[in-house]
Amino acid sequence: MARLWPLQEARNKLSDVVDDAETDGPQIITRHGKQVAVVLSMAEYSRLVKPQTDLMTFFQSSPLAGVDLDLTRDRSPGRDDPQQ
């Protein structure tokens, strides 16, 4: 369960904060009674930032998968400059 750590106490007991993050889950740091930061275990952080799917799976599940798109570049000149 998350514990609230006043900032000064978290500074003084950083090792305990980290140990508790590994065993008990996220630890919340407060400043003047306001929640300002969270200490997570590396395992929890990795789980949070891991993409839900890999890029190939993402493109394969796209609504455009299997649609025949014309990807050739348009070589026509740009717009005429109206000031010339």
Range of the domain at 46: 4-52
Is 76 contained in some domain? no
Beta-carbon contacts of residue 18 (< 8 Å; ≥ 6 apart): 39
On whether the CB atoms of residues 38 and 28 are closer than 8 A, the answer is yes
Residue 47: CATH number of its domain = 3.40.1620.10
pLDDT digits (tens, 9 = 90+) for 63-81: 888 888 787 888 888 877 7
Give me 83's structure tokens: 């000031």
In this predicted model, what pLDDT tens digit does every residue of 39-64 receive, in sequence order? 999 999 999 998 778 888 888 888 88
Count of CB atoms within 10 A of residue 48's CB? 8
